[in-house]
Amino acid sequence: MWSQSKSHLLLSLFAPILSSAFYLPGVAPTSYDVGQKVPLHVNHLTPTVAQDAQVHSVFSYDYYHPSFHFCRPKDGPKDVRESLGSIIFGDRILTSPFELHMAKNESCKLLCPEVKFDGLSSQFVNHRIWQGYNINWLIDGLPAAQINTDDQTNEQFYSPGFLLGDINSDGQSFLHNHYDIDIEYHRVAGLGTKEKYRVVGVLVHPSSRKTKVSGDKADCSGKDIVLLDGTADTSVAWTYSVTWRESSTAWATRWDKYLHVYDPSVHWYWLIYSAVFVILLVTLVSSILLRALRKDIARYNRLSMINMDDFNDNGDSVEDGIQEDSGWKLVHGDVFRTPNHPLLLSLLVGNGAQLFVMTGITVVFALFGLLSPSNRGFLGTVILILYTLLGFVGGYVAARTYKSFGGDSWKRLIILTPVLVPAIAFSTFFLLNLFVWAKGSSGAVPFTTMLLTVIIWFVISVPLSVAGSWIGLKLPVSIPAF
């Protein structure tokens, strides 16, 4: 009795320590004190739905592109540490000069001295406004968003990003140079009686205002909008205001307002449609097979009642007749017939198995909540790592398939399995990346990142694939007789 109560006591003492020491990736909250600085990071500018479909763009641009003339930190923008998947998917996260302090409101704060847009910069920015480019910020891992409304359900949700500018009724593009930042926070208990605060929502309401600047002070009461003249210089002052609001939203559910699904009933419709279609196909094929097999079984039953000895020398002809009647069943022999290009087929089967297992494990990770949206690019990183580590599966399946075909070019198989398909994919990606780089887009993957990916592939995946192929070739293969 004493030992049982003692174990319960020890468990109650160490349970908080164990629970605080273990957490899933991307679910460790950051708590702030009142007045503590909350970093605001900037990401690349991305295109959305353009005013005119003919000017829609697919290229993203770096936030500190010279033509945008955004304010820079005093010591220059610095890269924020990103994952491999985040970089490959185009994120370019940098520091910013914005100063946000927990639960401290700010009103019309000047971000930096006035900047001047020359004619070329004005034309560049105006064109990006017509293309519907969005500015993307990150505050405590949450994307700064605007409130959108679903036209079908009238449900409001947070849409990441906010417009660089807009088009007025006269067809003129104007620049958003003032940002009203609304940040929602949630109170949590800290150590002792001290309360902590966590960021649970970020909204930005951009506007265009001709601001009067006097020293380091700004007057945001102006009503005129900022129009960039493509033929002359235009002075622009960047300003922002910050409002903190307490929210009942817990930190664990802060992403719910961002993850909106448009018209979920459509998914149910296609699910039911696919299920009915599959049932009809299975029923049709089953009825055809049963009808054919019923006739064959009846014929076999009649022939089994015939005594072959009664036919004397004609028994062989009867057996030949039976074989001819069931000739369509001889197709089973083609299943094990060696194809024209066994090596190529084996390579594709091996890489397909590798991709299939990678997809399955990724889905399992997602079901267990390990792929949190707080970790930007974590999904891409997991996919790359899993596909690299599963090179053993690809090599093993390719070797077993090739050996079942009786192939003898096993050296070529071992070399090509981890190289051929990835080389084709990488070459295509590299060629497309050259076009993106030539366009000056921030979406171009840096050369160092691509080199790192190649090194990871040859150092980890290739040896694992070779090991899998070697084991697959060593094990015996049983081929059914036909």
DSSP code of residue 475: S
* 325 falls within a domain: no
Q: Is 90 left (phi over 0), alpha (psi -120 to 50) or beta?
A: left
How far apart, in whole angstroms, are the C-alpha atoms of residue 218 and residue 480?
Answer: 84
- Residues 78 and 199 grouped into a single domain: yes
- Residues 438 and 360 grouped into a single domain: yes
Strands 239-246 and 178-189: parallel
How far apart, in whole angstroms, are the C-alpha atoms of residue 21 and residue 275?
Answer: 45
- Residues 130 and 276 grouped into a single domain: no
Report the amino acid identity of residue 239: T
* 21 falls within a domain: no
> What residue numbers bound the domain in which 292 lies?
265-303
DSSP code of residue 210: -
Angle made by CA atoms 102, 103, 104, in degrees to the nearest 5 = 90
Q: How far is CA 480 from the centre of its chain?
A: 43
* 330 falls within a domain: no
Q: How far is CA 196 from CA 219, 256, 425, in A?
A: 34, 22, 48
Residue 196 forms beta bridges with which residues?
A: 188
pLDDT at res. 479: 64
Burial track 100-123 (b if 16+ CB lie within 10 A, e otherwise): bbbbeebebbbbbeebebbeebbb
pLDDT at res. 106: 92
- Residues 112 and 221 grouped into a single domain: yes
- Residues 434 and 394 grouped into a single domain: yes
How far apart, in whole angstroms, are the C-alpha atoms of residue 57 and residue 50?
Answer: 8
* 95 falls within a domain: yes
Tokens of residue 314, six digits: 């004609």
- Residues 373 and 289 grouped into a single domain: no
- Residues 136 and 240 grouped into a single domain: yes
How far apart, in whole angstroms, are the C-alpha atoms of residue 426 and residue 277?
Answer: 38
* 2 falls within a domain: no
pLDDT at res. 482: 47
The neighbour count for residue 66, using CB atoms within 10 Å, is 9
- Residues 290 and 394 grouped into a single domain: no
How far apart, in whole angstroms, are the C-alpha atoms of residue 256 and residue 259?
Answer: 5
* 28 falls within a domain: no
pTM across the whole model: 0.76
Looking at the structure of the chain, the number of domains it has is 3
Strands annotated E in 112-177:
115-117, 133-135, 137-139, 142-143, 145-149, 156-160, 162-163, 165-167, 173-175
Query: pLDDT 10s digit of each residue in the chain, 482 long?
Result: 444 444 443 434 333 333 333 334 445 788 999 999 999 999 999 988 766 656 677 889 999 999 999 999 988 899 888 888 888 888 889 999 999 999 999 999 999 988 999 989 999 999 999 888 999 999 998 999 988 877 777 777 888 999 999 988 888 889 999 999 999 999 988 666 678 999 999 999 999 998 888 888 888 887 888 898 888 888 999 999 999 999 998 888 888 888 876 666 666 778 888 899 999 999 999 988 888 777 777 776 666 666 555 555 554 544 444 444 455 566 656 666 788 889 999 999 999 999 999 999 999 988 887 887 777 888 888 999 999 999 999 999 999 999 988 888 889 999 999 999 999 999 999 999 999 888 888 888 888 889 999 999 999 999 999 999 999 999 887 765 54
* 137 falls within a domain: yes
- Residues 346 and 223 grouped into a single domain: no
* 334 falls within a domain: no
Contacts of 127 (CB under 8 A, 6+ apart): 55
Only one residue has tokens 């560049």, namely: 124
Burial track 332-354 (b if 16+ CB lie within 10 A, e otherwise): eeeeeeeeeebbebbbebbbebb
pLDDT at res. 421: 93
- Residues 77 and 107 grouped into a single domain: yes
Report the amino acid identity of residue 456: I
pLDDT at res. 457: 92
User: How long a stretch of residues is the chain?
Assistant: 482
The neighbour count for residue 70, using CB atoms within 10 Å, is 20
First and final C-alpha spacing in the chain: 69
How far apart, in whole angstroms, are the C-alpha atoms of residue 117 and residue 106?
Answer: 27
- Residues 352 and 226 grouped into a single domain: no
- Residues 98 and 243 grouped into a single domain: yes
